[in-house]
């Protein structure tokens, strides 16, 4: 019997280490219990397996019965509480209209002259894809969900690591080992249950990019590698979708909106080729200030909201550089590059890209 209990503890601990949901861990222990009882029912008395698991099925049947009584009692209590304290029913809303709760939630947007009710409705109907659920993706995703963007896609193949938590604020310590897209989805829907989150737990590749981009209105690139950035730019140009791109390293970040369909340069106009690795080290190699992704990611969310609602002037054909170490910002216009192979010369500059 001690052997079986040890196996149950091992299954629970292994499941916890792998981030397996509690319900699945209980299910594995239940399968172990069924297997032990089955062995006692089919094997003859004196069999080594029966001797190793308690010799008789009676203790296991009693244990199973006690567990069933406890579960039935808990379920009964839950049903009684539900009858005594029914959940409030959300007021029905006419299709196309906001509920009272939604009007209150988005009131600070609606009173803004540049957004108003039509702009908030546009946000609700918008579909925005965020590439990367890391440093830049964290604030982007949280603020898009808070703003009421109706459908938010997030694609990332990574899992939450302890080293991420210094800056990737959408993830928690309890999420370590969990896929980032799942952790982000949980945080976003906890913040705003009315938004639809589509998690894609995979790397963006040439095979899926065109089909994926076609489902969204605006693309935000918060990745930390040049291969994905160039791919995202290429497919966004082909699809005619605006691409909001952010990058950062150490104390500095840069941000721009690339939309060649409306006369702006594309990312490859600005950076024709990726720099040598030693000229653009990753955040892991060079370091990055924890709040810096929050600043740049929030700016990316602002640009997305402006594009969707038509408010203000997005950073189209311009690049914003933010230097956190000295508290300085500068903005400049991007110059055309006639030999761009992606958008055929909408614009460019001679600046160097950042790594992260």
CATH number at residue 226: 3.40.50.720
- Where is the domain boundary, 48, 83, 118? 83
Environment class of 334 (CB within 10 Å of its CB; exposed 0-12, middle 13-18, buried 19+): buried
- Residue 208 tokens, joined: 């899926």
218 and 185 co-located in one domain: yes
pLDDT digits (tens, 9 = 90+) for 83-93: 655 444 444 44
Would you say residue 348 lies in a domain? no
Would you say residue 97 lies in a domain? no
64 and 144 co-located in one domain: no
110 and 18 co-located in one domain: no
The torsion angle over the Cα atoms of residues 78, 80, 84 and 86, rounded to 10 degrees, is 50
pLDDT value, residue 92: 43
288 and 211 co-located in one domain: yes
Q: How many domains does the chain have?
A: 2
pLDDT value, residue 93: 43
pLDDT value, residue 321: 96
Would you say residue 95 lies in a domain? no
pLDDT value, residue 251: 94
Confidence of residue 343 (pLDDT cuts 50, 70, 90): confident
Would you say residue 338 lies in a domain? no
pLDDT value, residue 72: 78
78 and 120 co-located in one domain: no
Would you say residue 162 lies in a domain? yes
Would you say residue 339 lies in a domain? no
Confidence of residue 29 (pLDDT cuts 50, 70, 90): confident
Environment class of 111 (CB within 10 Å of its CB; exposed 0-12, middle 13-18, buried 19+): exposed
Look up the domain containing 39 and give its range: 2-83
Residue 47 has pLDDT above 90, yes or no: no
75 and 140 co-located in one domain: no
What is the mean pLDDT of the segment spanning 7-19?
A: 64
Residue 267 has pLDDT above 70, yes or no: yes
45 and 171 co-located in one domain: no
43 and 78 co-located in one domain: yes
Report the predicted TM-score, pTM, of the whole model to 2 decimal places: 0.70
């Amino acid at each position: 019997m001690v052997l079986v209990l040890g196996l149950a503890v091992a299954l629970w601990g292994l499941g916890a280490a792998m981030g397996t949901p509690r319900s699945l861990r209980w299910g594995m222990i239940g399968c172990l219990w069924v297997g032990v009882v089955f062995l006692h029912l089919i094997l003859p008395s004196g069999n080594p397996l029966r001797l190793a698991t308690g010799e008789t099925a009676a203790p296991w049947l009693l244990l199973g019965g006690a567990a069933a009584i406890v579960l039935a009692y808990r379920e009964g209590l839950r049903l009684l509480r539900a009858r005594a304290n029914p959940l409030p029913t959300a007021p029905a809303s006419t299709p196309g209209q906001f509920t009272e709760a939604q009007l209150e939630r988005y009131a600070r947007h609606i009173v803004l002259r540049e957004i108003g009710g039509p702009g908030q409705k546009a946000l609700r109907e918008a579909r925005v894809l965020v590439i990367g659920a890391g440093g830049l993706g964290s604030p982007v995703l949280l603020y898009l969900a808070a703003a009421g963007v109706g459908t938010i896609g997030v694609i990332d193949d990574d899992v939450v690591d302890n080293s991420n938590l210094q800056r990737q604020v959408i993830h928690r310590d309890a999420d370590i080992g969990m896929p980032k897209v799942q952790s982000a989805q949980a945080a976003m829907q906890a913040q705003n249950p009315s938004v639809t989150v589509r998690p894609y737990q995979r790397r963006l590749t040439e095979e899926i990019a065109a089909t994926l981009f076609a489902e969204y209105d605006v693309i935000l690139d918060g990745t930390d590698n040049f291969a994905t950035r160039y791919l995202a730019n290429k497919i966004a140009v082909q699809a005619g979708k605006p691409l909001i791109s952010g990058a950062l390293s150490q104390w500095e970040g840069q941000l721009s909106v690339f939309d060649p369909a409306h006369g702006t340069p594309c990312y490859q106009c600005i950076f024709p080729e990726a720099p040598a690795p030693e000229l653009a080290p990753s955040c892991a190699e060079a370091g990055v200030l924890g709040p810096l992704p929050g600043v740049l990611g929030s700016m990316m969310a602002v640009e997305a909201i402006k594009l969707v609602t038509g408010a203000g002037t997005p950073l189209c054909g311009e690049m914003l550089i933010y230097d956190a170490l000295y508290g300085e910002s500068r903005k400049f216009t991007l110059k055309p590059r006639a030999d761009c192979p992606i958008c055929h010369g909408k614009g460019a500059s001679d600046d160097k890209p950042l790594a992260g």
